[in-house]
Amino acid sequence: MVARNNVQISGPLDAPVLVFAHGFGCDQTMYSRLLPYFESRFRIVLFDHVGSGGSSLAHYDAVKYATIDRYVDDLIELCAALEFSDVTLIAHSFSAMLAIAAAVKSPELFRGLVLLAPTPSYIDDADTGYEGGFTREDIDGLLESLDDNHLAWAAMMAPVVMKNPMEPQLTDELEQSFCRVDPRVMRTFARVAFLTDVRPLLPRVEVPALILQCTNDSLAPLHVGDYMKAHMPDSTVDVLDAEGHVPHVSAPAETSHAILQFLAER
State yes or no: is 177 an active-site residue: no
The enclosing H or E element of 8 equals strand 8-10
Catalytic residue among 93, 121, 177, 250: 93
Catalytic residue among 49, 92, 150, 245: 245
State yes or no: is 27 an active-site residue: no
Phi/psi for 43 (5° steps) reads -85, 115
Beta strand pairing call for 8-10 and 43-46: antiparallel
Catalytic residue among 27, 217, 248, 250: 217
Q: Dihedral, CA atoms, 23, 158, 119, 50, nearest 10 degrees?
A: -20
The enclosing H or E element of 213 equals strand 209-215
Q: Where are the alpha helices (DSSP H) in 51-201?
A: 68-81, 94-105, 136-148, 150-162, 168-180, 183-195
CA distance 247 to 164: 10
CA-to-CA separations, 218 to 166, 224, 228, in angstroms, rounded? 17, 12, 17
CA distance 155 to 13: 41
Q: Where are the alpha helices (DSSP H) in the chain?
A: 68-81, 94-105, 136-148, 150-162, 168-180, 183-195, 222-231, 247-250, 252-265
Give the distance between the most distant pair of CA atoms in the chain.
49
State yes or no: is 217 an active-site residue: yes
Contacts of 230 (CB under 8 A, 6+ apart): none
Which positions are catalytic?
93, 217, 245
